[in-house]
């Protein structure tokens, strides 16, 4: 190979390197940005799920507690308008958190939350009938308290599933 050919090859390689460097750099930057966007999306979804779990857990436990309080007060004949309003507010908050969670949580969590919802909604209906003096045969505050007790292991199971989904193992 002559010196002229070698110089020509060197010049061509140099020019190609100069021309391709920005393209390669741009592609690498685009890949990094895409990976950062994927990571940010995963983080956003995780946080969205965690927030939904926290809100649903809090709302379902609050609703459960106020249902239990209402049943005790109905049984004792001291159920007031303030407690009715608090229970209704908790029911609405629970309903809203449940609806929000339905849009972002996996099906296994929804199955557990449906199980909790079944008990809470059923007891809420009994509370309303007892409060209005329209109890069905066999309905009483004592029976409803026993039914409400069935929600406790379901609440615990739902919380365990949520924690496991978030990677909390302890």
Q: What is the pLDDT of residues 80-130, one digit of tens each?
A: 999 999 999 999 999 999 999 998 889 999 999 999 999 999 999 999 999
Residues in the chain: 170
CA distance 86 to 134: 21
Q: How far is CA 24 from the centre of its chain?
A: 42
CB 105 within 8 A of CB 52: yes
Please give the pLDDT value at position 170: 73
Q: What is the pLDDT of residues 38-75, one digit of tens each?
A: 988 998 999 999 999 999 999 999 999 999 999 999 99
CB 67 within 8 A of CB 87: yes
Angle 42-44-46 (CA atoms, 0-180°, nearest 5)?
A: 70
Q: What is the pLDDT of residues 126-158, one digit of tens each?
A: 999 999 999 999 999 999 999 999 899 999 999
CB 124 within 8 A of CB 79: no
Where residue 14 falls among pLDDT bands split at 50, 70, 90?
confident
Regarding pTM above 0.95, the answer is: no
CA distance 170 to 160: 10
Where residue 1 falls among pLDDT bands split at 50, 70, 90?
low
CB 151 within 8 A of CB 67: no
Q: What is the 3-state secondary structure (H, E, C) of 143-157?
A: HHHHHHHCHHHHHHH
> Which residue has better confidence, 16 or 169?
169
């Amino acid at each position: 190979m002559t010196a002229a050919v070698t110089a020509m090859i060197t010049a061509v390689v140099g020019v190609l390197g100069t021309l391709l460097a920005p393209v390669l750099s741009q592609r690498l930057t685009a890949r990094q940005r895409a990976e950062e966007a994927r990571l940010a999306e995963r983080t956003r979804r995780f946080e969205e799920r965690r927030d939904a779990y926290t809100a649903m857990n809090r709302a379902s436990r609050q609703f459960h507690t106020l249902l239990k309080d209402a049943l005790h007060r109905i049984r004792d004949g001291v159920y007031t308008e303030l407690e009715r309003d608090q229970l209704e507010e908790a029911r609405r908050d629970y309903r809203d958190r449940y609806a929000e969670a339905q849009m972002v949580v996996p099906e296994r969590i929804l199955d557990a939350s449906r199980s909790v919802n079944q008990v809470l909604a059923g007891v809420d209906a009994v509370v309303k009938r007892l409060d209005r003096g329209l109890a069905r045969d066999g309905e009483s505050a004592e029976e409803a308290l026993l039914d409400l007790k069935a929600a406790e292991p379901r609440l615990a199971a739902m919380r365990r599933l949520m924690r496991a989904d978030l990677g909390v193992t302890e």
